[in-house]
């Protein structure tokens, strides 16, 4: 079994994966999520993971490989310690020796591209032919362009919807905290303060996505499918026709593919 670890700014996702054999797609057996804390030690991770593995009918001994992707550099040391001390393996780190990207990063500063974005590009290209726009709803919402050859061409970083809402509420003393959900009606003229906030946050975000994707497609100059990932993709999908496909575990799939490549040269 492969333990794939995706350490983001808000959460760390651990997934137990059976890598695909003979070109088959990887099978994700189970996944867990914990709030990102760069100070959390390898020992703390191990106690938490050991209990969750047992609840799912697995043991730590079932893990014989670990691959890590992180956009939080300070978290990497403790995740390496987890792998070496408790799983008795030297982990692969996405983008480093042994797990190089294997795709062209056609941007001005390739070393600054987030690991999750490159991994999403790898997984998206494996799933869909042609030009692609990958939207990932995380702490930030990222829009990434992958061309028909599989090259990463760049993209956009926008504030995540939670960040946008937090900024609005913290800067305006009289505005209440609201849940992120679709407005109760289709009207975009709110009659109460909360209605107006829902409309601004939700439909404003939909309009932002649709507008940016339209501009990206015009610049690409060829048809481009949109693949969405991240927890809020399903919520938005009910209210826009923007997404051609939603892949909830796109980053984990990409990590499993990167691991398989590392094992087969």
Q: Which residue(s) pair with 141 in the sheet?
A: 137, 158
Structure token digits, residue 190: 């709110």
The four Cα atoms 159, 215, 246, 234 give a dihedral, to 10 degrees, of 50
The residue written with tokens 């496909």 in the block is 245
CB-facing half-sphere around the CA of 208: CA atoms within 13 A: 19
Contacts of 147 (CB under 8 A, 6+ apart): 106, 131, 153, 220
Kindly state the helix (H) or strand (E) to which residue 235 belongs, with its residue range: helix 233-237
Catalytic residue among 43, 64, 106, 116: 116
Structure token digits, residue 112: 């600054």
- Length of the chain in residues, anyone? 265
Segments of the chain assigned E as strands: 2-7, 11-18, 27-35, 65-70, 92-93, 131-137, 140-146, 152-159, 224-229, 245-246
Active site residue 116: yes
Q: Are 9 and 139 in contact (CB under 8 A)?
A: yes
Q: Are 103 and 121 in contact (CB under 8 A)?
A: yes
Q: Are 135 and 233 in contact (CB under 8 A)?
A: yes
Catalytic residue positions, numbered: 116
């Amino acid at each position: 079994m492969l333990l794939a670890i995706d350490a983001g700014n808000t959460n760390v996702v651990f997934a137990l994966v059976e890598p695909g054999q003979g070109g088959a797609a990887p099978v994700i057996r189970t996944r867990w999520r914990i709030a990102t804390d760069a100070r959390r030690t390898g020992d703390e991770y191990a106690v938490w993971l050991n209990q969750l593995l047992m609840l799912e009918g697995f043991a730590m001994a079932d893990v014989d490989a670990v691959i890590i992707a992180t956009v939080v550099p300070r978290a990497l040391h403790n995740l390496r310690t987890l792998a070496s001390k408790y799983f008795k393996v030297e982990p692969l780190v996405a983008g480093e020796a042994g797990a190089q990207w294997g795709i062209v990063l056609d941007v001005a500063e390739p070393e600054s591209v987030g690991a999750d974005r490159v991994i999403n590009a790898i997984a998206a290209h494996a799933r869909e032919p042609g030009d692609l726009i990958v939207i990932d709803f995380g702490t930030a919402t990222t829009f990434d362009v992958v061309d028909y050859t599989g090259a990463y061409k760049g993209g956009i970083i926008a504030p995540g919807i939670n960040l946008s809402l937090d900024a609005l509420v913290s800067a305006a003393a009289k505005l209440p905290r609201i849940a992120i959900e679709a407005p109760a009606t289709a009207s975009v003229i709110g009659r109460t303060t909360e209605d107006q906030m829902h409309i601004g946050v939700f439909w404003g975000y939909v309009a932002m996505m649709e507008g940016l994707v339209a501009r990206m497609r015009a610049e690409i100059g060829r048809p481009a499918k949109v693949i969405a990932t991240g927890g809020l993709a399903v919520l938005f999908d009910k209210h826009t026709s923007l997404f051609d496909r939603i892949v909830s575990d796109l980053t984990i799939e990409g990590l499993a593919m990167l691991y398989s490549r590392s094992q087969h040269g």
